[in-house]
């Protein structure tokens, strides 16, 4: 679909038989999104193919702290956070092609130099591509709640996931999760609380932080009466 853009299956032979917490989605790409991919993917795009990443080289700075954001949707909140904090690099991971194109377009229009858009399975990134203590944070906002009990094993925030994440975090790095599905929020709180090396910055759930922008998805959830929960944990 995009000869010089995000690949349908960047991990290729590294694909393994495991429970997936996401569905790869191409979706309908607008002309503007396709144009942004064509213009910027070679410079700002990252294929999660298992090849180790050099984060200082990727962001063009030996000292820039880098956070990974998993599941950025259309990228509006990601772009706003990047603009508000240009000294922090954001490696934003998703498999939704329209969202990838939209975030690239936003980065271009806002003149952002601290955003890189990663395509593929975040597990491949965390397991194979990053060195220990290389990240200053992890953001997981409104992941798929997989509400049916038989699908709970597909939820991203699990002990096995945090076992991959925690060694990649520098001391003081922040894990920030948010969800509008209360049963998942309770599970997140339990799993994060029990994770070795992470300490809750609050008693239970965190107050909604000002630095996380309100998204269209979040406003829709609130309109339906959902309760949004934030969780902030620090790597010790």
How confident is the model at residue 12, as a pLDDT?
Answer: 72
Of 54, 144, 186, 210, the active-site residue reads: 144
Evaluate whether residue 187 is within a structural domain. Answer: yes
Residues 75-110 as b or e (16 or more Cβ within 10 Å = b): bbbbbbbbbeeeebbbbbbbbbbbbbbbbbbbbeee
The verdict on residue 153 lying in a domain is yes
Question: Is residue 84 a part of any domain in this protein?
Answer: yes
- CA triplet 11, 76, 177: central angle to 5 degrees? 70
* 9 part of a folded domain: no
Segment 102-106 shows an average pLDDT of 98
CATH code of the domain in which 112 resides:
3.40.50.150
- Region 17-46: mean pLDDT is 82
Q: Answer whether residue 24 is part of any domain.
A: no
Tell me how far apart the alpha carbons of residues 121 and 67 are, in angstroms, rounded to a whole number: 16
User: So what's the pLDDT on residue 21?
Assistant: 55
Domain that holds residue 176: 33-235
Q: Is the pLDDT of residue 184 over 90?
A: yes
| 186 catalytically annotated | no
Per the prediction, the chain carries an average pLDDT of 93
Does 132 fall in a domain?
A: yes
* pLDDT of 5: 76
What's residue 25's pLDDT? 55
Our count of domains for the chain comes to 1
Within-domain flag for 44: yes
Tokens 């975040």 sit at which residue?
122
State the Cα–Cα distance between residues 1 and 128, nearest whole angstrom: 27
- What's the token pair of residue 138? 């992890």
What average pLDDT does range 108-115 have in this prediction? 98
Torsions phi, psi for 130 (to 5 deg): -120, 140
Q: Give the bridge partners for 176, in sequence order.
A: 139, 232
User: Minimum mean pLDDT among 7-21, 93-107, 212-226: which range?
Assistant: 7-21
Provide the pLDDT confidence category of residue 199 given band limits of 50, 70 and 90. very high
Domain membership of residue 1 (yes or no) is no
**Does 4 have pLDDT greater than 70?**
no
């Amino acid at each position: 679909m995009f000869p010089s853009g995000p690949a349908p299956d960047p991990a290729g032979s590294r694909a393994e038989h495991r429970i997936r917490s996401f569905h790869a989605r191409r979706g309908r790409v607008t002309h503007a999104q396709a144009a942004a991919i064509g213009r910027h993917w070679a410079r700002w795009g990252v294929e999660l193919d298992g090849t180790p990443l050099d984060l200082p080289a990727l962001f063009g700075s030996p000292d820039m702290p880098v956070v990974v954001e998993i599941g950025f949707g259309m990228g509006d909140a990601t772009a706003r956070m990047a603009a508000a904090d240009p000294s922090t690099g954001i490696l934003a991971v998703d498999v939704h092609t329209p969202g990838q194109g939209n975030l690239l377009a936003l980065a271009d229009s806002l003149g952002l130099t601290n955003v890189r858009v990663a395509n593929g399975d975040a597990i491949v990134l965390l397991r194979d591509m990053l060195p220990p203590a290389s990240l200053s944070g992890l953001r997981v906002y409104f992941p798929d709640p997989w509400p049916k009990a038989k699908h709970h094993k597909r939820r991203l925030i699990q002990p096995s996931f945090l076992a991959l994440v925690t060694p990649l975090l520098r001391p003081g790095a922040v894990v920030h999760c948010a969800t509008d599905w209360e049963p998942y929020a309770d599970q997140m709180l339990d799993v994060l609380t029990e994770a070795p090396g992470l300490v809750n910055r609050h008693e239970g759930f965190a107050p909604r932080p000002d630095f996380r922008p309100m998204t269209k998805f979040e406003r829709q959830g609130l309109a339906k009466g959902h309760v949004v929960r934030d969780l902030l944990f620090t790597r010790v």
